[in-house]
């Protein structure tokens, strides 16, 4: 085996020495050097032209084209090298009747161009690494003419189970195609979601429903395309459906339940983005997103609560702002028996009404007696506001300050202690 390998290497070395000693090789080498020199000479000129083109195009109308040109600047020189070497190969065929040296240089230039494009346009580190370790070696193998042999070898390494055969080549194709298609699906979904949520003529719950349906449709199409690219019959979906059914029965029922619950919530419109939701356990926040599995409540202290969609179907929750943003609040306080209750009522009611956020409808602010204790009388200032007593608003706190200021100015004492 070693002797055969040595003989093969010696044969290749002899062929290389004979090639290097022929005039045809030097002609092709000169063409390669000339192409590289022309590329390095003309690349700055073409780069200046792209800058001039950027200045001529209005930024607001050609923003996408301007960004693409800016991103592709680093690829200008390697792309020019590839183009000049392609022309050089035609010249070499016409002059010396062969162009293998020029085409080899062109193939390596294409591999470098692919590497530069991967580094420039793929921001995700994982995808960039995968594309580099798959795309560049494939380009190099293609450059030296061994790509077909490598593919045949990868296809020969396989495992079989009945009529199912899975090879290393199939797994590589599945990983590459799956990564590309799901990246494309994610980008398409993000763009579509932006378009849907910009439709101000549609109410928010309907926009959320359309967005969810669009997301399902996009990734459904992606799965079908992936099956077609991998050469799988669509009847495989039936097998996949059976496997999915078994999975739902054993371990995926919660995921399926949350997904269906999210669709039900969007259809019945019991809540939507922007609503203030209070859960049965007392936690509350503004509903910011409804995902396929869970919804996000953002509290006013900056936290995000991930709530499974099923919880909104099976447990009680309070939607404070769904039907009407107007809210009724009250601020409790105590006064001793020896004060004029009518004067207290008038002073407190007038103080509350001074706050410009307090509404006069559905009813004006009032001061009511709650109960009589052994030493104190429990009162409450009742008022309506437009909004929630949390986050950017502090209605109860501000009203309590107004009540304290008004009663202190009138010489009326307050107490927090109450005995029933």
The model carries a pTM of 0.46
Name the DSSP letter for residue 415: B
- Residue 419 has a pLDDT of 44
153 domain-assigned = no
Token duo for residue 49: 């032209």
- Residue 51 has a pLDDT of 67
Do residues 51 and 118 share a domain? Answer: yes
Residue where a domain terminates, one of 145, 160, 176? 145
Residue where a domain terminates, one of 206, 227, 258? 258
What's the domain range around 358? 326-409
Those residues of the chain that have pLDDT short of 50 are: 418-420
Secondary structure element (H or E) that encloses residue 298, with its range: strand 294-298
Do residues 342 and 386 share a domain? Answer: yes
- Residue 420 has a pLDDT of 43
Q: Which SS3 state, helix, strand or coil, does residue 366 take?
A: strand
416 domain-assigned = no
Do residues 90 and 24 share a domain? Answer: yes
- Residue 14 has a pLDDT of 64
Q: Which residues pair with residue 336 across a beta bridge? A: 376
CA distance 248 to 200: 38
Residue where a domain terminates, one of 226, 258, 290? 258
Do residues 118 and 174 share a domain? Answer: no
Do residues 226 and 361 share a domain? Answer: no
First to last CA, the chain: 103
CA distance 409 to 420: 28
- Residue 20 has a pLDDT of 64
Do residues 7 and 118 share a domain? Answer: yes
Do residues 14 and 91 share a domain? Answer: yes
pLDDT (tens digit per residue) in 171-223: 877 777 777 788 788 888 888 888 887 877 776 667 777 887 888 888 888 88
- The total number of structural domains in the chain stands at 3
Do residues 216 and 135 share a domain? Answer: no
313 domain-assigned = no
Do residues 12 and 47 share a domain? Answer: yes
Do residues 49 and 113 share a domain? Answer: yes
Pairing mode, strands 376-386 and 326-336: antiparallel
pLDDT (tens digit per residue) in 303-319: 888 888 888 888 888 88
- Residue 86 has a pLDDT of 84
């Amino acid at each position: 085996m070693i002797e055969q390998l040595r003989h093969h290497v010696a044969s290749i070395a002899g062929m290389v020495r004979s090639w290097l000693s022929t005039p045809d090789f030097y002609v092709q080498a000169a063409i390669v050097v000339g192409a590289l020199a022309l590329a390095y000479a003309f690349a700055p000129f073409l780069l200046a032209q792209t800058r001039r083109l950027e200045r001529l195009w209005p930024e607001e109308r050609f923003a996408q084209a301007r960004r693409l040109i800016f991103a592709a600047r680093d690829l200008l020189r390697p792309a020019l090298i590839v183009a000049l070497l392609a022309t050089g190969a035609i010249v070499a065929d016409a002059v010396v009747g062969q162009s293998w040296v020029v085409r080899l240089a062109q193939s390596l230039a294409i591999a470098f161009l692919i590497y530069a494009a991967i580094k420039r346009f793929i921001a995700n580190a994982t995808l960039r690494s995968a594309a580099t370790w798959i795309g560049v070696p494939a380009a190099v193998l293609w450059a030296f003419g061994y790509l077909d042999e490598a593919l045949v070898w990868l296809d020969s390494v396989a495992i079989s189970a009945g009529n199912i055969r899975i090879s290393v080549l199939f797994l590589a194709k599945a990983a590459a195609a799956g990564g590309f298609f799901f990246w494309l699906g994610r980008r398409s979904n993000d763009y579509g979601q932006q378009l849907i949520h910009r439709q101000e003529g549609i109410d928010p719950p309907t926009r959320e429903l359309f967005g969810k349906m669009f997301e399902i449709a996009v990734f459904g199409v992606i799965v079908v395309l992936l099956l077609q690219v991998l050469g799988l019959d669509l009847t495989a979906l039936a097998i996949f459906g059976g496997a999915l059914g078994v999975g739902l029965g054993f371990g995926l029922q919660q995921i399926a339940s949350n997904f269906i619950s999210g669709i039900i919530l969007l259809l019945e419109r019991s809540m939507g983005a922007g609503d203030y939701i209070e859960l049965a356990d007392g936690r509350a926040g503004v509903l910011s997103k409804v995902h396929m599995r869970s919804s996000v409540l953002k509290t006013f202290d900056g936290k995000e609560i991930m709530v499974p969609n099923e919880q909104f179907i099976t447990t009680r929750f309070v939607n404070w702002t769904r039907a009407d943003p107007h809210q009724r609040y009250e601020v409790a306080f105590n006064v001793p028996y020896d004060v004029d209750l009518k004067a207290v009522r008038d002073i407190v009611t007038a103080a509350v009404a001074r706050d410009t956020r307090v509404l006069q409808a559905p009813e004006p602010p009032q001061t009511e007696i709650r109960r009589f204790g052994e030493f104190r009388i429990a009162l409450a200032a009742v008022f309506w506001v437009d909004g929630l007593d949390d986050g950017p608003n502090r209605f109860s706190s501000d009203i309590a300050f107004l009540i304290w200021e008004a009663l202190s100015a009138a010489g009326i004492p307050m107490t927090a202690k109450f005995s029933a």
